[in-house]
Structure 1
Amino acid sequence: MTTIPESQHALDLEIAKLEQVLASLKRRRNALSAISQLPTELMHSIFYLSIRYPDEARGENWTPLLNLEDTRRSISHVSHDWRTIALEWPALWSEIHIEKTPKVAYLDLIRERARGIPLSLVTHWITRSTVPAVRHVFQADGARLKSVALLDPVSVLRDLLPELNACSNTIEFLELDDPTSHPLGPPDRTETDALSGNFPKLRSLRISAWETLVLPPLSFNPASLTRLELFFRRFPSTHVTDALFGTLRNVALHLTSLTLSFMLPNNVQSGSLTTAGMLPIEMPCIKDISLISNGQNILPAFSSLLLVPSSVRKVLIAGRQGSTSQDLSSSLQHICTNIPSPEFLQLNYIFTPGDGLYSMHAYALKATPLNSQDAVELSPDNVTLRLLPSSHVQPSPEVKPHTFPASLVNPSGWLCSALRHIVLTCPLPILPFWKALALVPNFRSNRASRHTFRRCILPDSGRSAGRK
């Protein structure tokens, strides 16, 4: 005679068999759906686009989403087929994101699913309690790391620096950023750090808000580096800037993109860059260069050292409140020494509603675009000046717009010596601007002339244009 537990066990077995049959029938039914008919390669592309987004600023499609783990979990729980494809596709697991304090076993599982392909590591606002987990990835699979983005406080970055230097032989993309740094906070000069690894395969380097990090010229000389972005929120010490110039000289011959930004606190908008006596730095391959600062004399110091070829595609010189129009004028003359003077100039007056601030952008093109109204910002070949308000000014409707500095309108200078066309999308500049513009040799306002002048007004309701 069977007991009740035995009967229950027999029924459980029967239920399990029926559930397996039901699951098999559901899978067969799902396999007939349109989404299940897609080729595996196309599914891979869909998965890839769901975990990455194109980053035009870096010129690479390697930037991962911040919610990567949730996305991967969602993908693998859609259906049995999706889960099978997801688990068997190594590229889906090649990104390792660390935000809190993940278990080492979980990190090992991700690395195992990625099999032998290169890995990308991203940390975001972690604390020192999370450092051991990050160290484990560096030590276990440092030879597979292709890109590393450490977006953490400097104290955490400093703890991980030895492991980073030890894995320098394989890293191609490196980003070091302290998102917690506030420019109005006190500078940290208690320690000096060094990115001393060789980094022979490094192609892109971005460092932001780590003013004590030194790039030593004698050891840091990546021959593959083509993109360099350095953002300072406080003025670094002299040995940091001296090392920067030495390293820049080492890598300048193969750089194609350079961004240097010194955005200092409002109460400290001056600093000394010692460039006297330095030889010019030739940059024969540079295509995109940006110099940004709100400090006095910083833009001219940089631009006086950099020799930009005529083949450069884009030049940006941006001055915020604190830098002077003379700084912009000097920087423009220095950086554009080998660039043909422009035929076309457009002045854009920009209001940002969210900030309540005004700025002015000046676009200088070698040749006049066919559709100058819309094509200027999309042109691959231009020099841009930006007059920007301080990023720490309180929004106010009473804030007045920037005006284009008359000192830049030098008829014999680079900006205006060959000028033939001008477009304004802003209120009329100050009177000295017009007096200087009247002396430009090739510029005419006569409608019948081939030299044209167009004034465009941007009212609140939209844009209207008229020819004068």
Structure 2
Amino acid sequence: MDPDYIKTQRALDARIVQFQSELTDLKRRRNALSPISRLPPEILCKILLLIRQEDLFSKEKKIVPQYILLCHVSHFWRTIMLGNPEFWVDIHLAWSASWRASRMLSFMAHHSGAQKISVVYRRDRPQDHEHGPDIPIDLDLVRILQQESSKIKSLSLVLGNFDRNRDGGLEAEVANIFSEGEFSNLEDFLFLITPKVLELPPTLKLDKVFKNRPPKLQRFEVAGWRLCLESSRQLLQGMTHLSLRGDLVGSLFELLSLSPGLKTLFLTGLRLFHPLNFSYPQNAPGQVCLSHLESLTIYLCLHSLLDVLKGIQIPPNLAHLHVHLDLAFPNRIRELFDAWKQAQKGVIKPEHVCIGKPGNRSFISRVIFAWKTTESPGQFKPDRIKRSPPSVTLTLRLGSPMNDNMHPFVEPQDYQHKWSFGKVRVVEILGPLEEDEESARLKIYRLGDHFWTTIANAPYLQLLYLNSCFEDEFKEMIITLGQGVFPALQYLIFSFVRCETKLRRISFDEFAASFTEYFKLNRATPLALLGFRHCPEQPSQATLNALKEVAVCVVCRETQEWP
């Protein structure tokens, strides 16, 4: 090769390196001059900590380490990170590199200073190994957990792909952690395993795990185990938060009576098939009173769910209630509300109700969400991603699609003593999924005359968001009731589903004309907004003019976008 060519090439390479260096320097100068970089470190830390808290409560997002966020906004991120202990308090470790896990725990605990720390340790046996290797908890990790035990506020041990033949000594491994550690500030303890589907869960005896109960322990969560109450009674006294996902050896009501100050109770997957599980302790006959309860989640088989509701007393104004009723027929729905009436005093009067359908074609199902308060209906956006947690969630699996008369609000006596639409301002009624064409064709999404009559007469209902598959029921109700329906309604939004609209034999213009005809006759004042979401076709100008006779503002959108 020509020497001059080589010399020129090397000179160009050197210039490229020089330009890259100058570019890096310019970027650093630019970052140093940016408004964010001029913020005091303590303000910048508060901003990033808020982002972290949002991620921790988001199921869709993966938690992003703070140093990754910080290195994008400040050239001095290393100095800021090392100088702020708040960034080092959430420690997530994995067995895949246990020696690194122990070093990471030691490093982060050191930089957390006097802050209390939360430690999550995950250990998964590879799924492609039927029995897998023995995976003991690393002794160096155990030693550092013991050394830092006085700083640990929350400890989670998550062990997937549990094999009882290989992991029979797991209790002893965990007991080794607590054998020497102080854990004087431990408030939360989560112990989760994932046993094989067809295997009985292993028995957990807490007196073998804890040498002494941590004095501040208030929150206990166990999953995948068969919890033995007899050997765990003393350690479970006085809990404020209790989550059980597995089996229980002993009486559930005796367990609950040990913690009269419970604020959170989460029961799911419990196979409480033994009669003794629902016997009452001698010192607490009758219903167990949970007067401080704020959040209750029950996800059990039908008989167990009813037994639990019949055996507890809960305060009238829970902040959160989630009940799952599995495969019920109309008479069993009434049993649910009767048991609910016995357990909880007071009537739920939500301002915002959403009725949806889980994606299961084999059964009629409903999910009912209720919020005690709601945003201004004028600011409402359908299908918005972020919502505050509902105060009530009812998941009702009702029966076969052949029984198209089944729905949660069949008759008023089913629910009126626990549920009132007297304060409701927003109602969302959702229908089939896009791919659920068969259900749309069978028209199995009826809600019943009494439900429609109830919401039509709701005195404060301002916004109704309606799936188009309920159009016939909506139309029949307005024609039947006549003048005076929806006295406060200002916003009406139809959402079209493609699998349903393509079964129609009329165009959108014809649909809109019929809507205008029956709605105009029964409304004294026009709506503030009439919306058609996922509009199947572009309406004609004549149709828009006709719709504007019943609404001040008419919006027809073909896409998912919404104003």
Query: TM-score normalized by structure 2?
Result: 0.58
What is aligned with 2:177? Answer: 163
Secondary structure (helix, strand or coil) at the match of 2:345 reads coil
2:205·2:232 contact (CA, 8 Å) conserved in 1? no
What is aligned with 2:33? Answer: 33
Is residue 248 from structure 1 mapped to residue 256 from structure 2 by the alignment? yes
Deviations 1:374-426 (A, max 9, x none): 69997988544212499xxxxxxx9999942577753686247x666996545
Is residue 185 from structure 1 mapped to residue 198 from structure 2 by the alignment? yes
What is aligned with 1:18? Answer: none
Greater shift, 72-81 or 367-376, is seen at 367-376
Report the AA paired with residue 229 of structure 1. Answer: S
Give the distance between the partners of 1:453 and 1:79, measured in 2 at CA: 52
Is residue 85 from structure 1 mapped to residue 80 from structure 2 by the alignment? yes
Give the distance between the partners of 2:64 and 2:48, measured in 1 at CA: 14
Is residue 173 from structure 1 mapped to residue 195 from structure 2 by the alignment? no
CA drift of 1:144 comes to 0.6
CA drift of 1:131 comes to 3.2
CA drift of 1:123 comes to 0.9
The one of 144, 153, 163 aligned to 2:151: 144
CA drift of 1:317 comes to 1.4
2:190·2:222 contact (CA, 8 Å) conserved in 1? yes
Give the distance between the partners of 1:39 and 1:367, measured in 2 at CA: 38
Give the distance between the partners of 1:192 and 1:287, measured in 2 at CA: 28
1:171·1:201 contact (CA, 8 Å) conserved in 2? yes
Aligned CA distance change for structure 1 residues 359 and 114 (closer, same or farther; 3 Å): same
What is aligned with 2:286? Answer: 279
Give the count of matched residue pairs. Answer: 414
What is aligned with 2:308? Answer: 302
Give the distance between the partners of 1:450 and 1:421, measured in 2 at CA: 16
CA drift of 1:139 comes to 1.1
Write the mapping of 1:21-420 to structure 2, written as runs, cut at 5 A. Answer: 29=29, 32-34=32-34, 35-49=36-50, 51-56=52-57, 68=65, 72=67, 75=70, 81-99=76-94, 100=96, 101-103=98-100, 104-126=102-124, 128-153=135-160, 155=167, 158=171, 159-164=173-178, 167-178=182-193, 180-182=194-196, 184-189=197-202, 192-194=205-207, 196=210, 197-212=212-227, 214=229, 216-222=232-238, 225-232=239-246, 236-239=247-250, 242=251, 244-253=252-261, 255-262=262-269, 272=275, 274-277=277-280, 278-293=285-300, 295-321=301-327, 326=331, 328-337=333-342, 338-341=344-347, 348-352=355-359, 359-363=365-369, 383-388=392-397, 403-404=406-407, 410=413, 414-415=417-418
Secondary structure (helix, strand or coil) at the match of 1:279 reads coil
Secondary structure (helix, strand or coil) at the match of 2:308 reads helix
Give the distance between the partners of 2:411 and 2:305, measured in 1 at CA: 15
Give the distance between the partners of 1:41 and 1:177, measured in 2 at CA: 37
CA drift of 1:290 comes to 1.8
1:317·1:386 contact (CA, 8 Å) conserved in 2? yes
Aligned CA distance change for structure 1 residues 246 and 368 (closer, same or farther; 3 Å): same
Decide which structure has the larger Cα Rg and report it.
2
Greater shift, 45-54 or 87-96, is seen at 45-54
Aligned CA distance change for structure 1 residues 313 and 305 (closer, same or farther; 3 Å): same
1:306·1:335 contact (CA, 8 Å) conserved in 2? no
Deviations 1:318-362 (A, max 9, x none): 1234x6665553343233344334567957232449x99873123
Aligned CA distance change for structure 1 residues 452 and 209 (closer, same or farther; 3 Å): farther
Give the distance between the partners of 1:106 and 1:368, measured in 2 at CA: 44
2:253·2:311 contact (CA, 8 Å) conserved in 1? no
Query: TM-score normalized by structure 1?
Result: 0.67
What is aligned with 1:6? Answer: none
CA drift of 1:371 comes to 5.0
Secondary structure (helix, strand or coil) at the match of 2:259 reads helix
1:369·1:375 contact (CA, 8 Å) conserved in 2? no
Deviations 1:87-115 (A, max 9, x none): 22222222332212134444323322222
Aligned CA distance change for structure 1 residues 376 and 249 (closer, same or farther; 3 Å): farther
Greater shift, 202-211 or 323-332, is seen at 323-332
What is aligned with 1:393? Answer: none
Give the distance between the partners of 1:402 and 1:175, measured in 2 at CA: 43
1:98·1:124 contact (CA, 8 Å) conserved in 2? yes
2:195·2:201 contact (CA, 8 Å) conserved in 1? no
1:175·1:206 contact (CA, 8 Å) conserved in 2? yes
CA drift of 1:299 comes to 0.4
- Structure (1/2) with the larger helix percentage: 2
Give the distance between the partners of 1:46 and 1:388, measured in 2 at CA: 43
Report the AA paired with residue 187 of structure 1. Answer: L
Secondary structure (helix, strand or coil) at the match of 2:156 reads strand
**Overall identity of the aligned pairs, in %:** 16
CA drift of 1:146 comes to 0.8
CA drift of 1:135 comes to 0.9
CA drift of 1:458 comes to 5.4
What is aligned with 1:446? Answer: 481
1:446·1:452 contact (CA, 8 Å) conserved in 2? no
1:292·1:319 contact (CA, 8 Å) conserved in 2? yes
Aligned CA distance change for structure 1 residues 356 and 280 (closer, same or farther; 3 Å): closer
1:347·1:425 contact (CA, 8 Å) conserved in 2? yes
RMSD across aligned positions (CA): 5.2
Unaligned runs of at least 5 residues, structure 1: 1-21, 59-63, 391-397
Report the AA paired with residue 299 of structure 2. Answer: I
Give the distance between the partners of 1:117 and 1:343, measured in 2 at CA: 42
Aligned CA distance change for structure 1 residues 453 and 333 (closer, same or farther; 3 Å): farther
